[in-house]
A and B are shown apart, each in its own frame.
Chain A
């Protein structure tokens, strides 16, 4: 079945550091790919998405490119801020027959120190 694997956390960085959170997937067909962010005490929020190969999703300085050849969707940000501290989830949607099921990775906790 479909699955998503994220790099294990927690990840701790200093403010203004470069961030990469790795995400690889296994899927049949052509899934859509998502990054969600969860701040403490809140639900998940969509951060960015990509629906086909070579698409780049971007939002709030974060970027991720849909790489079909490597089945990856790594999240990057050039200069992180303390406010980026959260848990980040990579997910795919198989979209089979109109279904909108999401398969999530295990999440990566990010802490940014001032």
Chain B
């Protein structure tokens, strides 16, 4: 079975540019999560969706960040304009509804570098 697929794997861009990260969750999963990982702050939950609807975006750092899930098989995380402090590894994860204990399945991440 295909896992969570993220693209691109690596992105290097200049400050001020728009960045779009993409995620395809595992087919049939109800939840989708976006995380950011840095050495300083560890793994942070940015936003998560249930059945394509954003449920909690309290982790989104500021208005420059936005996320959408137009359908069950695709989500994007956009940063506009990008800044050097946004450099991090961004992970997408998905899971099934099922009460306690349902694990999240992670993609391999997008390593983002803002120059």
A contact residues vs B (CB 8 Å cutoff): 30-32, 34, 36, 41-46, 49, 51, 89, 93, 95, 98-102, 104-107
Contacts and interface: CB of A to CB of B under 8 A. Distances in A.
B48 A51 contact: no
A99 B108 contact: no
Interface residues of B, number: 25
A34 B103 CA distance: 8
Given A43-B106, A99-B55, A106 B42 contact: yes
Interface of B: 4, 31, 33, 42-43, 45, 48, 50, 55-56, 91, 93, 95, 97, 99-109
A101 B45 contact: yes
Contact of B31 (A41, A51, A100): A100
Given A43-B107, A44-B106, A101-B56, A95 B99 contact: yes
Given A31-B100, A51-B101, A98-B99, 19 more contacts: A42-B109, A43-B106, A44-B43, A44-B93, A46-B104, A89-B43, A93-B101, A93-B102, A95-B101, A99-B48, A99-B56, A100-B33, A100-B48, A100-B95, A100-B104, A102-B104, A104-B42, A104-B43, A105-B42
Contacts of B106: 36, 43-45
A36 B97 CA distance: 19
B109 A95 contact: no
A28 to B, nearest CB: 14
Nearest to B106: A43
Nearest to A6: B42
Given A45-B106, A100-B102, A107 B43 contact: yes
B101 A32 contact: yes
B91 A43 contact: yes
A4 B24 CA distance: 29
A76 B107 CA distance: 26
